[in-house]
Structure 1
Amino acid sequence: MRRRLLALLCVTGSLVSACGLLPGGHARTTVTVWLMKDSASRDFLRRFTDDFERTHRDLRLDIRIQEWTGIVEKVRAALKDGSGDAPDVIEVGNTQVPLYADGGRLADLTLESMRDWGQDAWLPGLAEPGKDGNAQYGIPWYAANRVVIYRKDLFRAVGITAPPKTREEWLADTQKLDSGGNQGIYLAGQDWYTLAGFVWDEGGDLAVQKDYDWKGALDTPAALRGMDFYRRLQALGRGPVAADEEHPPQAGVFAGGRVAQIVAVPGLAQSIVQRNPSLKGTLGFFPVPGKTAARPGAVFTGGSDLVVPRNTKDQFAATAVVGALTGATWDTELARTMNYVPNKTTLAAAVAGGEGVAAMAAGAAHGRATPGTPQWADVEADNPIKQYMTRVLTGADPRTEARRASRRITEELTPGL
């Protein structure tokens, strides 16, 4: 769930303390922090650094911005024992934490999480991937997830005055919208992140762990019910059954045709309006509906966690930075600045003023992440879930195809099987 090059160096105004010396000649400890490009604005990082260094007079921040391309190998190299230029704090994608925690390369931050950081209110889609057993390695920072982007004018034209609250209402409304040359919804056949939410809503999962072994779980009754709902919804539009939401990019489809709804992150609305300025002011957002009106549907939660390498030179200083960045003051400031969801459900009110972000926050409260195993990346490399979806949407027997896909997932999650 990352934006812009920045190197916070010694700045004018307090040159002595900013460059590593305290009054009286005592050296500051430098904390090296790797953050990803575009995760935070230049202005946010400047303000955070000024505040942190003012309130932690013995510490100095050296924030280094990293590119997403090639980051996995770069982080892995930095986590090796004896690495000469290892950072003290690293921003990682929430689903990447199991990859880096494998082999004991990250510091266990469970004590701080329980004592100081309010882990009981963390978004589950950020917290769960950061945990291995009883150990918390990844500390939730910010989140983003899918919502329904819709055209208010098309809803009004068929007499729909408010967004649906339940999945059955969603189906009924979408069927009304799928008329007069409109597509009720554009949903590509291989949008497996959206499918995952329906599976989770039914109580199923993509894969489950028993003892130390992972096994594909698309063939459970709950997961099959999730796929059946996806099939019914996808049929109320003309999304390609053998492609995902990026082929073609669904923003272009939405902008270029009479499409009533898509499932996407709210930020995609900006791209839609850029492609078709006539849609400015017509777009709205609502959470993916749940099985009942009592709560929105489950969604895949993307975003970032902060981790501390085990080989940090000063874990106390590193955790001070993590605590400040993920604390209520700066986490909500980041969310407002970048249109993210804050890391705790209790902070959702901080973004309630933005329709799109508020819809994200409602869904994120019930969000999930992909199975917490380092091998999940191997599943996504040649994703059997996509192939399963296409086969079911083209008429194949769901149970047979779910068993086939589950076997493939199990094989990828169990090297040497």
Structure 2
Amino acid sequence: MKRQLIAAVGVAAMVVGVAACGSSAKKDDTAGSSSKPANYNGKTLNVWLMDGSAPQAWQDGIKTDFESQFQGAKLNIQIQKWDGIGQKITTALSEGSVDVLEVGNTQTAGYAATGGLLDLTSAKADLGGADWAPNLNASSVLDGKQYAAPWYFANRVVIYNKALWTKAGITATPKTLDEYYGDLDKLKASGVQDPIYLPGQEWYTYFGLIAGNNGQIAKQNGSKWAGNLESPEAKDAFATYQKLQSYSTAPKDKDEATPQQSTLFPKGTIGSMIGLGWEAPAPKDMPADQVGYFPLPGKTADKPSGVFLGGSNLAIAQASKNQDLAKGFLKIAMSDKFEGQMASTGLVPNKTSLDALATTDYAKAAIPASASGATTPNIPAWSNVENTPNPIKDFLAAVLQGADYDSTAKKYDDQITQRLGQSQ
């Protein structure tokens, strides 16, 4: 299943001319090749991971193994929120207050271009990089140099409440968007508050719909990039997004993290939502057999809607004073043991040897959906677009609240173009 996903990513990435990130690594779990001091007493490695990425068992396990291998050292894992993370990372990289950090595959090039990330080219082989698939490692590379280790890959699917669907008389998951609209109508008629919970600024879903139309959210004109919300493909994608959002009471001017939709779903008032595997409720909040998954359907049954091919890389801060320890952490994190734990949660790790573990219900829905996906342009300036205030989010909120599509698209295309022209 993992190899199928890697192939799908390779094809989907051509939608925007770049590839997503992923890889495989060696089984040797020993520390990095750099010589290490006699002891690590008093040293603390500060690691930033993003909310929803690493399960608690993974964090606990890697802390135990790291502190056992590097006796005297302490591992301090800090969980960060995605909202506003760009500026926070920029500040931390300049101050040297973080050693290892998780960065999104759309953001890595931007941080590397500013000089904030350590060049890992010479350490790549020791980290297992010889086995990393080149097409999936692309977002970790800038100007031929390796600035991060690819960690995992994921895309969004529809997560649904089976009990509410059964109550509404729905006996099968939809294969087309029209069938899904019909199911949402049935859920609404049965009294479900939110047949689908879809905040107005959930731009990842909108991005995927554009990709499924063979469109681009930004286009390249020679050596320059420009916003592309005015394109027919983007406008058609918005029509789909707007119709889906019309079944939701979620705010039109907020994203999926405000409030975090994963905290709302278990309350039993939401029939479905579009999210990542980690956003599904834990068994303690809702029985696992009451949670289902399927790809967001497309216009025809033979092709699901497109998806944003998300993923994360692990990088080391250039200003880190613990670079030897940081490389050791990366090697442990990228080992079979800990990549295997990621696979068992439904995420897709960098290890083709762990194919059999990517068999969760979420993964089964995510893999076919990835065939119609894409990622953002792998250019340093893209991080400017995602910085708050994100013009794509503001565009969606404005049009959903009644603004004219064409004139609003031009306004925000101009903003995107300006940001893409800014230096890092």
Tell whether the structures are fold-level matches, with TM greater than 0.5: yes
Match of 1:72 in 2: 90
Percent of residue pairs bearing the same amino acid type: 32
Match of 1:229 in 2: 240
Give the gaps of 5 or more residues in structure 2: 1-30, 82-87
Against the structure 1 CA distance between its residues 188 and 318, is the aligned structure 2 distance closer, same or farther, given a 3 Å change threshold?
Answer: closer
Deviation of 1:150 after TM superposition, in Å, equals: 0.9
Structure 1 CA distance, aligned partners of 2:190 and 2:320? 62
Structure 1 CA distance, aligned partners of 2:267 and 2:69? 47
SS at match of 2:170: coil
Would you say the 8 A contact 2:93–2:318 is kept in 1?
Answer: no
Against the structure 1 CA distance between its residues 380 and 293, is the aligned structure 2 distance closer, same or farther, given a 3 Å change threshold?
Answer: farther
Match of 2:177 in 1: 167
Deviation of 1:412 after TM superposition, in Å, equals: 2.5
SS at match of 1:381: coil
Match of 1:196 in 2: 207
Structure 2 CA distance, aligned partners of 1:201 and 1:346? 30
Would you say the 8 A contact 1:91–1:305 is kept in 2?
Answer: yes
SS at match of 2:207: helix
Structure 2 CA distance, aligned partners of 1:251 and 1:259? 11
Would you say the 8 A contact 1:181–1:258 is kept in 2?
Answer: no
Structure 2 CA distance, aligned partners of 1:368 and 1:62? 38
Q: 1:283 aligns with which of 262, 283, 291?
A: 291
SS at match of 1:173: helix
Deviations 1:286-325 (A, max 9, x none): 2333455556544335553122456789989976764553
Deviations 1:269-291 (A, max 9, x none): 437974xx6x7753322233345
SS at match of 2:77: strand
Q: 1:45 aligns with which of 49, 52, 62?
A: 62
Match of 2:150 in 1: 140
1:36 aligns with 2:72: no
Deviation of 1:45 after TM superposition, in Å, equals: 1.0
Structure 2 CA distance, aligned partners of 1:317 and 1:272? 36
Would you say the 8 A contact 2:200–2:252 is kept in 1?
Answer: yes
Q: 1:186 aligns with which of 197, 202, 221?
A: 197
Q: 1:264 aligns with which of 271, 275, 278?
A: 275
Match of 1:381 in 2: 388
> Mapping of 1:260-339 within 5 angstroms?
260-270=271-281, 274=285, 281-290=289-298, 293=301, 296-308=304-316, 322-336=330-344
Q: 2:399 aligns with which of 385, 392, 395?
A: 392
1:99 aligns with 2:110: yes
Against the structure 1 CA distance between its residues 329 and 116, is the aligned structure 2 distance closer, same or farther, given a 3 Å change threshold?
Answer: farther
Report the residue type matching 2:47 in the other structure. Answer: L
Against the structure 1 CA distance between its residues 296 and 63, is the aligned structure 2 distance closer, same or farther, given a 3 Å change threshold?
Answer: farther
Match of 2:255 in 1: 244
SS at match of 2:186: helix
Deviations 1:38-82 (A, max 9, x none): 7364442156438977xxxxx99764434538443222333xxxx
Structure 1 CA distance, aligned partners of 2:77 and 2:138? 26
Deviation of 1:375 after TM superposition, in Å, equals: 5.4
Structure 2 CA distance, aligned partners of 1:110 and 1:365? 30
1:351 aligns with 2:358: yes
Structure 2 CA distance, aligned partners of 1:144 and 1:383? 22
Structure 2 CA distance, aligned partners of 1:410 and 1:229? 25
> Mapping of 1:119-130 within 5 angstroms?
119-120=133-134, 122=136, 127-130=137-140
SS at match of 2:80: coil
Would you say the 8 A contact 2:200–2:254 is kept in 1?
Answer: yes
Match of 1:152 in 2: 162
Deviation of 1:232 after TM superposition, in Å, equals: 2.0
Structure 2 CA distance, aligned partners of 1:242 and 1:104? 34
Match of 2:10 in 1: none
Structure 2 CA distance, aligned partners of 1:181 and 1:86? 48
Match of 1:218 in 2: 229
Structure 2 CA distance, aligned partners of 1:115 and 1:241? 43
Against the structure 1 CA distance between its residues 166 and 139, is the aligned structure 2 distance closer, same or farther, given a 3 Å change threshold?
Answer: farther
Against the structure 1 CA distance between its residues 221 and 108, is the aligned structure 2 distance closer, same or farther, given a 3 Å change threshold?
Answer: farther
Would you say the 8 A contact 2:67–2:73 is kept in 1?
Answer: no
Would you say the 8 A contact 1:121–1:345 is kept in 2?
Answer: no
SS at match of 2:281: helix
Would you say the 8 A contact 2:48–2:98 is kept in 1?
Answer: no
Deviations 1:9-47 (A, max 9, x none): xxxxxxxx9xx999xxx9589998543257364442156
Deviation of 1:185 after TM superposition, in Å, equals: 1.6
Match of 1:4 in 2: none
Deviation of 1:221 after TM superposition, in Å, equals: 1.8
Structure 2 CA distance, aligned partners of 1:405 and 1:187? 22
Deviation of 1:244 after TM superposition, in Å, equals: 3.2
Deviation of 1:215 after TM superposition, in Å, equals: 1.4
Q: TM-score, normalised by structure 2?
A: 0.70
Question: 1 or 2 for the larger relative contact order (CA 8 Å, sep ≥6)?
Answer: 2
Deviation of 1:376 after TM superposition, in Å, equals: 2.8
1:116 aligns with 2:127: no
Against the structure 1 CA distance between its residues 312 and 394, is the aligned structure 2 distance closer, same or farther, given a 3 Å change threshold?
Answer: closer
Structure 2 CA distance, aligned partners of 1:86 and 1:43? 19
Deviations 1:84-120 (A, max 9, x none): x995x55434343223201445455568479613224
Q: TM-score, normalised by structure 1?
A: 0.71
Structure 1 CA distance, aligned partners of 2:391 and 2:321? 42
Deviation of 1:203 after TM superposition, in Å, equals: 1.9
Q: Number of residues paired by the alignment?
A: 374
SS at match of 2:107: helix
